[in-house]
Amino acid sequence: MTEENNYAPLKGIKVVDWTQVQSGPSCTQLLAWLGADVIKIERTNTGDPTRNELLDIQDSWSLYYLQLNANKKSLTLNIKTDEGKKIMYDLIKKADVFVENIAPGSAERNGFGWKKLHAMNPKLIYASLKGFNEGSRFEDVKAFEPVAQSAGGGASATGWNEGKANVPTQSTALGDSNSGMHLTIGILAALLQREHTGEGAFVYQSMQDAVLNLCRIKLSVGLTRLKVGKLILTLMFTSLFKTATRAGQQLPTPWVTQNGLLILALMAGKIANYTRKKFIH
């Protein structure tokens, strides 16, 4: 291959990235690695929640954020204002791909649903990533890694069953990054299809289905896979435990420390400390 022909396959493709945390950003990062021009839209004041995760070094960038958002441009917008909406619409009119993984129904309520954007830009590839399929009884439920793994069967494949509740554990990001990779495949297929039809497409990926796809052999024969032992990885949740139902909240394993505290790692990088006496009744 000559040097002048050696270029990124998605060079010239413009992507508006309205995603957050890990599942959506892992998809748009792959597009950026392939040469697409990705503009990440972040909320004003706080930005992506991962900006506050893994802040190991003082006054440095979050490792979590950098791992998922390298090679992207970033723009903060308040899409609830007229000015913010106009800027977003202007970007979308010139885009090839629009990717979102916000709460179910939120894109439509804020004026960024598929039908409206398709009418605005008929060649647009609209990619949506949610916890569950459209039409599912859980389609309105928010989902993060623990929910996706539990619903898709991944959590039962690794780690030990712990405690009286016999709740399975988790390991790698089968629900998040894996879902992003599945969505990327759909986007690439839609871009290729557009070369033949000249029209955009709606691409939908559920996190549950992405996990199910990786567990399909185990599930198809009804086998319970042998546990591989307790896996402890940075920012991976080593155990699940029962709590009151509250969609979208994550409470990874509590650790008992030498000073008698239980530390709960919460989303948005916050740490909550409780004494054993206060937390355990």
CA–CA distance, 179 with 130 (Å, rounded to integer): 9
Same domain, 159 and 208: yes
Question: Which pair of structure tokens corresponds to residue 39?
Answer: 């503009």
- pLDDT category, 6, cuts 50, 70, 90? low
Same domain, 38 and 119: yes
Question: Which pair of structure tokens corresponds to residue 100?
Answer: 């979102």
Same domain, 83 and 156: yes
Q: What's the pLDDT at 45?
A: 87
Same domain, 50 and 149: yes
Same domain, 278 and 208: no
Question: Do 70 and 36 contact (CB within 8 A), yes or no?
Answer: no
Residue type, 58: Q
Q: What's the pLDDT at 254?
A: 39
Strands 73-76 and 97-100: unpaired
| 13 in a structural domain | yes
| 105 in a structural domain | yes
CA–CA distance, 242 with 123 (Å, rounded to integer): 45
Same domain, 38 and 146: yes
Q: Which of 214, 233, 268 is the last residue of a domain?
A: 214
| CA-closest candidate to residue 147, choices 125, 164, 160, 131 | 131
Residue type, 124: L
Same domain, 202 and 259: no
| 229 in a structural domain | no
User: Per mean pLDDT, which range of 183-187, 240-244, 259-263 is the poorest?
Assistant: 259-263
Q: What's the pLDDT at 243?
A: 54
- pLDDT category, 172, cuts 50, 70, 90? low
Residue type, 224: T
Percent of the chain past pLDDT 90, that is, above it, reads 39
Same domain, 16 and 111: yes
- pLDDT category, 188, cuts 50, 70, 90? very high
Q: What's the pLDDT at 232?
A: 42
Question: Do 99 and 18 contact (CB within 8 A), yes or no?
Answer: yes
Same domain, 14 and 123: yes
Same domain, 86 and 177: yes
Question: Do 18 and 41 contact (CB within 8 A), yes or no?
Answer: yes
* Highest mean pLDDT pick, 10-24, 142-156, 158-172: 10-24
Q: What's the pLDDT at 176?
A: 78
| 225 in a structural domain | no
Same domain, 138 and 35: yes
- pLDDT category, 13, cuts 50, 70, 90? very high
Residue range 73-132, pLDDT digits in tens: 999 999 999 999 999 999 999 999 999 999 989 999 999 999 999 999 999 999 999 988
Domain count, the chain: 2
Q: Domain of residue 127: give its range.
A: 7-214
Same domain, 74 and 169: yes
User: Per mean pLDDT, which range of 109-113, 166-170, 182-186 is the poorest?
Assistant: 166-170
| 262 in a structural domain | yes
Secondary structure (H, E, C), the chain: CCHHHCCCCCCCCEEEEECCCCHHHHHHHHHHHCCCEEEEEECCCCCCHHHHCCCCCCCCCCHHHHHHHCCCEEEECCCCCHHHHHHHHHHHHCCCEEEECCCCCHHHHCCCCHHHHHHHCCCCEEEEEECCCCCCCCCCCCCCHHHHHHHHCCHHHCCCCECCCCECCCCCCCCCHHHHHHHHHHHHHHHHHHHHHCCCEEEEEEHHHHHHHHCHHHHHCCCCCCCCCCCCCCCCCCCCCCCCCCCCCCCCCCEECCCCEEEEECHHHCEEEEEHHHHCC
Strands 261-265 and 271-275: antiparallel
Residue that is written with structure tokens 């998605």 in the block:
10
- pLDDT category, 247, cuts 50, 70, 90? very low
Q: What's the pLDDT at 202?
A: 97
Q: Which of 167, 195, 214 is the last residue of a domain?
A: 214
| 242 in a structural domain | no
| 197 in a structural domain | yes
Q: What's the pLDDT at 219?
A: 66
* Highest mean pLDDT pick, 50-64, 151-165, 205-219: 205-219
Q: What's the pLDDT at 262?
A: 40
Output the pTM of the full model: 0.74
Active site residues: 176
| 221 in a structural domain | no
Which of 115 and 279 is assigned the larger pLDDT? 115
CATH number of the domain residue 149 falls in:
3.40.50.10540
